Structure 1
Amino acid sequence: MATSLLRLLRPIVHVSGIVAPGLTGRIAFKAFCTPPRRKQGTNRTPAVKPAASRLDAAMHISVPYPCGSVAAHLFEPATEGQAEPAPSVILLHGWTGEAAFMSAFVTPLLRAGFRVVAFDLPAHGQSTGAELNLPIGVASLAAVARAFAPVHAIVSHSFGGSIALAALAGTIPAQPRVMAERLAMISPPASMAEVTRWFGTAIGLGRTGQRALEARIHSVAGVPVTAFEGADQLARFGKPTLLLHCRDDREVPFAHAEELAGAGPFVRLEALQGLGHRRILQSRHVAAAVADFVAGRADRRSGQTQPISSRLTTASIVSMPSGEAFRQGR
């Protein structure tokens, strides 16, 4: 939502939050869950086209879930004589993103012997729907995980990390817990309560309206927004986790990564510099490091491996699609 429009709406939202908090909370929740969406058929920007072209070699599959269907892109590794499918790695993009934004991770993971599944979250890319929230996101991830089992790892970016954590921790009572052995999170927010508070402040909800918004979240999710604290959920997951986050990230501050890293000794945090919130997805070194972690190679040679931050160069970055900022929601 444009800043100028927010300024105009703030006084109206503030007053309605006092006069009709329940209605305001429902309207605010809908706005909170509705991403801006490019119309189908609209030409992609020059920055997005190279990333999207990496999906051309995939098998394109529509995966149904209770609220509609999501567009999945399946890549199979080059294996011969293998009766069972290779373990899957699911790539999970962030708010206002799409599967193409995660495509730089495909080749390194295929070379490591994994089948790779990138999919458009609901209300994004070619998937159905107009809204995305944590219950919807977890439901779609659970459906993809069932369709391409067994799942070895999830690689997520930004709000996709919040969905992955809720799914792996079994936070939402009505949704099945997703099982995976490893988790790599890139630039994730640590607290959905903080994101919700930011959104409420941005639209001028006030205390009464904010309480109504959080009550609506509780009603839809079946748990309060405080149940989605990242470090608590990550501790419940408890399996090897890699966090990659730039100190110069202006959309999700680096402090979020530090908070998540406190979940336990199974979490490894790599602090990067110079890649921001979006370009980090197009770093060849980051993609290689994620593949090493997913395959367990980083564990075996951790004593000799340089930190990712010391191996990054400007030349390692390929063209990156732009996206909405954390200040637009998450």
Structure 2
Amino acid sequence: MPSAALRVIRPLIRIGSFIAPRTAGRAAFRLFCTPPRQPGSDTRSGKAIQGARSRLAPAQRQAVPYACGSVSTYLFEPEAGLQDVAQEGLRDEAGPAPTVILLHGWNSEAAFMTAFVAPLLAAGFRVVAYDMPAHGASTGAELNIPLGVASLAAVARVFAPVHAIVTHSFGGAIALAALAGSVPGEPRIKARRLALISAPSSIATITRNFGATIGLGRRGQAALEKRIHSVAGNPVEVFEGREQLAGIGLPTLVIHDRQDRELDFHHAEALAAAGPFVTLEATGGLGHRRILQAKSVVESVTRFVVG
């Protein structure tokens, strides 16, 4: 959030947290779940987004409905001669090639995951990227873990069988919750492998850091976490990455940059402590977002997905 907006909102949140904590908590939850507006197409960032979206041009586009709207999906199919490459035992002969789902992070979109498409297609996989709720071309104004899990479950159902999920940032938290079955009422999705790039390990920590940033007091923070519990069907502590990952037990690759300024490297170390089935790879100097375009990262993820 821009510092100018924080200077305006912090005093209001602080006062509201004291005199009307429930109202302040609900307002904080809505703010927490609302991604910022996309920059205009005439700005530098807007031009970068348009350039990234052009890489989705070869994909087959489909709107996949879920309970709260629809998400825009982008399907890349391998060439007929490649569908059996490295796929023996992974699919029925009459069925489609196994799918790799690419799941972007907060305030991003499917277009920024496209560096992984070509090598995964060359390995014989179908690749599906999609815009999460309130992002890219998908519907909605908010994104939270229940909405993300519901949309991922819908995409996984349409493009089954799912071999692997490759995630970035907040997408990792959503994939963990979906695989662990942490949102009541949503089916637990299935995959064989999971790659977590720059993923958070603790939603509770992120929530409390957010509260501190906007000036939410103790009572307001409690109301915010109560609202999360009400919406998600579980307290925020249930969505701790290490515990969810330990329960899932899938072969998992964790890649994180030591200079990540948005999510400190300790998040990766916590995830890696989930069990011996987790492989941790550290990078240096790539930060939180450029890591998605690094050749070494794309190669590591592809090797891991192929197995």
Q: Report the TM-score when normalising by structure 2.
A: 0.93
8 A Cα contact 2:40 2:46, kept in partner: no
Residue of structure 1 in register with 2:69 after alignment: 68
Q: C-alpha deviations, 1:37-92, integer Å up to 9, x for none?
A: 32897787343344322211000010000000000000001124963100000000
Question: Cα distance, 1:110 vs. partner?
Answer: 0.4
Residue of structure 2 in register with 1:110 after alignment: 121
**Matches of 2:250 and 2:196, distance apart in 1:** 13
Residue of structure 1 in register with 2:58 after alignment: 57
Q: Secondary structure at the match of 2:46?
A: coil
**Matches of 2:157 and 2:3, distance apart in 1:** 41
**Matches of 1:124 and 1:230, distance apart in 2:** 23
Q: Given residue 15 of structure 2, which amino acid in structure 1 is its aligned partner?
A: V
8 A Cα contact 1:169 1:234, kept in partner: yes
Residue of structure 2 in register with 1:38 after alignment: 38
Q: Secondary structure at the match of 1:45?
A: helix
- Does residue 288 (structure 1) correspond to residue 299 (structure 2)? The answer is yes
8 A Cα contact 1:51 1:104, kept in partner: no
Q: Given residue 73 of structure 1, which amino acid in structure 2 is its aligned partner?
A: Y
**Matches of 2:280 and 2:55, distance apart in 1:** 28
**Matches of 2:145 and 2:37, distance apart in 1:** 18
Q: Secondary structure at the match of 2:246?
A: helix
Q: Secondary structure at the match of 2:199?
A: coil
| Identity value in percent | 62
Task: Map 1:217-296 onto structure 2 (within 5 A).
Answer: 217-296=228-307
Unaligned runs of 5+ in 2: 84-92
Q: Given residue 105 of structure 1, which amino acid in structure 2 is its aligned partner?
A: F
**Matches of 2:51 and 2:126, distance apart in 1:** 21
Task: Map 1:9-28 onto structure 2 (within 5 A).
Answer: 9-28=9-28
Q: Given residue 47 of structure 1, which amino acid in structure 2 is its aligned partner?
A: A
Question: Cα distance, 1:262 vs. partner?
Answer: 0.2
8 A Cα contact 1:37 1:123, kept in partner: no
Residue of structure 2 in register with 1:305 after alignment: none
Q: Given residue 259 of structure 1, which amino acid in structure 2 is its aligned partner?
A: A
Q: Given residue 240 of structure 1, which amino acid in structure 2 is its aligned partner?
A: P
Residue of structure 1 in register with 2:171 after alignment: 160
Question: Cα distance, 1:3 vs. partner?
Answer: 1.3
**Matches of 2:17 and 2:69, distance apart in 1:** 32
Q: C-alpha deviations, 1:113-149, integer Å up to 9, x for none?
A: 1000000000000000000000000000000000000
Q: C-alpha deviations, 1:218-253, integer Å up to 9, x for none?
A: 000010000010000001110100000000111110
Q: Report the TM-score when normalising by structure 1.
A: 0.87
**Matches of 1:241 and 1:216, distance apart in 2:** 31
Task: Map 1:98-137 onto structure 2 (within 5 A).
Answer: 98-137=109-148
**Matches of 1:271 and 1:9, distance apart in 2:** 37
Q: Which runs of 4+ in 1 moved over 6 A?
A: 39-44
8 A Cα contact 1:52 1:103, kept in partner: no
Q: How many residues align?
A: 296
8 A Cα contact 2:39 2:46, kept in partner: no
Residue of structure 2 in register with 1:78 after alignment: 79
**Matches of 1:40 and 1:14, distance apart in 2:** 32
Residue of structure 2 in register with 1:198 after alignment: 209
Bigger drift between 72-81 and 112-121 goes to 72-81
Q: C-alpha deviations, 1:256-311, integer Å up to 9, x for none?
A: 00011000000000011011101000012211211110010xxxxxxxxxxxxxxx
**Matches of 2:137 and 2:41, distance apart in 1:** 10
**Matches of 1:261 and 1:216, distance apart in 2:** 30
